[in-house]
Amino acid sequence: MTTKTRRTEEQLIAELEAKIAALKNRAEAKKVKKDPALKYVSAAMRSLDKAMAETEDKAMRKALEEARGTLSACLSLNGVTLTPKGSSVKRGVRGGAVDRDTLLDYVRKHPGQRGEEISAALGTDSKLIRPVMKRLIEEGAVATRGERRGMQYSPA
Least confident of 13-22, 93-102, 109-118, 133-142: 93-102
Map out the domains of the chain with their CATH numbers: 8-95 (no CATH), 98-156 (1.10.10.10)
Question: For residues 73-90, b (16+ Cβ closer than 10 Å) or e, as one string?
Answer: eebeeeebeebeeeebbb
How many Cβ atoms from other residues are within 10 Å of residue 71's Cβ? 18
- Mean pLDDT rounded to a whole number for the chain: 80
pTM: 0.42
Q: Name the β-bridge partners of 143.
A: 154
Q: What is the pLDDT of residues 67-123, one digit of tens each?
A: 988 888 887 777 675 443 333 333 333 455 678 888 999 999 999 999 888 888 888
